[in-house]
Amino acid sequence: MKVNYYTGENYCESCKRFDKFCHIGVAAFGHAFIFRGYTWAKLESWQDWKEYLKIKEIYDEFGDRVSYSWFVNYIETYKSPDYVSEDNMKNISVNEVALSIHDWIDDEGYSFRGQEFT
């Protein structure tokens, strides 16, 4: 199972949609979080995202809002590149599969994709 996370801006009550979405990344069972990187917006590391998200609303792909503190704890505790789950399944990140020219690893070992993905 995987869950994508987004930020949303300018929510319209009448149409129940956001004007603008920004894909944060995806959490998949047994894998480290994979971030969507935006070089043009300087969102190129987990620290960049952490700072950016402080003033944003965070939503999962089902439209449920998650708090900033929950999201940070989730990423750093259960979705970090070094986390090993209870069943001893090693977290797998982009750095363990073929990287394209649009992918990179930040200084903390988090994986980034420079192109849209789901």
Mean pLDDT of 74-93: 68
Half-sphere exposure of 45 (CA within 13 A, CB side): 7
Asked whether 31 and 95 are in contact (CB, 8 A), the reply is: no
The mean pLDDT of 76-91, rounded to a whole number, is 67
In the three-class reduction of DSSP (H, G, I as helix; E, B as strand; rest coil), residue 87 is classed as: coil
Confidence at residue 6, expressed as pLDDT on a 0 to 100 scale: 94
Highest mean pLDDT among 14-18, 54-58, 81-85, 88-92: 54-58
The answer to whether 93 and 79 are in contact (CB under 8 A) is no
**Which tops the pLDDT comparison, 13 or 37?**
37
